[in-house]
Structure 1
Amino acid sequence: MAPMLSPWTRPKPSRQAAPKSLRQRVLVVEDELIIGELAAESLIDAGYEVFTAASAEEAEILLREMSVDILFTDIDLGGRDGFELAQTALSLQPLLSVVFTSGRSRICHGRCASVGVPFLAKPYRLAELVEAVERALKPRSTQ
């Protein structure tokens, strides 16, 4: 059975005048809709083109249809987790950067640190989210 796309999956219009070709695309995957919406709004305000998904399955559909520069995903998504999503995402888009987030910070931070993937513990400040995304994209922009 194919997952239903949530009504808030559509891309958010940018409030900044950056040309579309220069804006980097972020996919925010968060099963808590309010948190996902706040994260998306913060990234839009920072000039990113943002897409949202409420599950790993929904995110996978989007990743098959379009390319993104960064995947910002919660680890605990209710069904498949963020680690499984990241594996699928990287197989579909090998140049993708990933940033994980979770409220189970001690367990998840250790697992992310062991493989060198950025991790943002919940609750996080929206400015910290933007900084984490910018840091994850930095190696790419210097190449």
Structure 2
Amino acid sequence: MPISFLWSRVPQPECRLAEASSTRVLVVEDDLPVGAVAAEALEEAGFTVLFATSAEKANAILAEEAVDVLFTDIDLGGLDGCALAQQALKAQPGIAVLLTSGRSRRCYADRLPPGAAFLAKPYRLPQLVDEVLRAVEATSSH
């Protein structure tokens, strides 16, 4: 399957860009090319993006920066994304959590934080942007 098929881009409507403009997203992905493409797509959609390649680096960012959305791979090596999400929710209770994995959501059902969204890999970049916007809307409506 060619990468252009998996990572296809579509223009984002202007109204969606306005919603994203003040939203800070922390992308955590140990596969650097995958994380870089995801971060770039979110930046192009108008989000402010912070990037970490491990849960440990993400925790250091969370200790220093206010973040609206945590988008993390689950299988990170070392501390995994589920544990990172739990720690992020303790550090920043209003944070929205979006987890991703190439494995089924069922594999992690007992470890996903309540209210966390899940995006299966491989995902399309427009799906990622939509899921991040949905996560922001869900946390702002509470």
Alignment of 1:95-106 (within 5 A): 95-106=94-105
The 2-side partners of 1:47 and 1:141 are apart by 18
Is 2:113 the counterpart of 1:119?
no
Alignment size in residue pairs: 125
* Map of 2:29 onto structure 1: 30
Flag the 1:132–1:112 CA change in 2: closer, same or farther, 3 A: farther
* Map of 1:65 onto structure 2: 64
The 2-side partners of 1:112 and 1:132 are apart by 20
Structure 1 window deviating more from structure 2 (131-140 vs 61-70): it is 131-140
Per-residue deviation, 1:107: 3.2
Flag the 1:142–1:100 CA change in 2: closer, same or farther, 3 A: same
Per-residue deviation, 1:46: 0.6
The 2-side partners of 1:114 and 1:89 are apart by 10
Q: Counterpart of 1:91 in structure 2: which amino acid?
A: K
The 2-side partners of 1:113 and 1:61 are apart by 21
5+ long unaligned stretches in structure 1: 1-17
CA contact (8 A) 2:85 2:113 kept: no
Q: What CA RMSD, in Å, does the superposition of the two structures yield over aligned residues?
A: 2.3
TM-score (structure 2 length as normaliser): 0.79
CA contact (8 A) 1:109 1:121 kept: no
5+ long unaligned stretches in structure 2: 1-16
Flag the 1:113–1:103 CA change in 2: closer, same or farther, 3 A: same
Higher relative contact order by CA 8 Å / sep ≥ 6: 1 or 2? 2
Percent identity between the aligned chains? 53
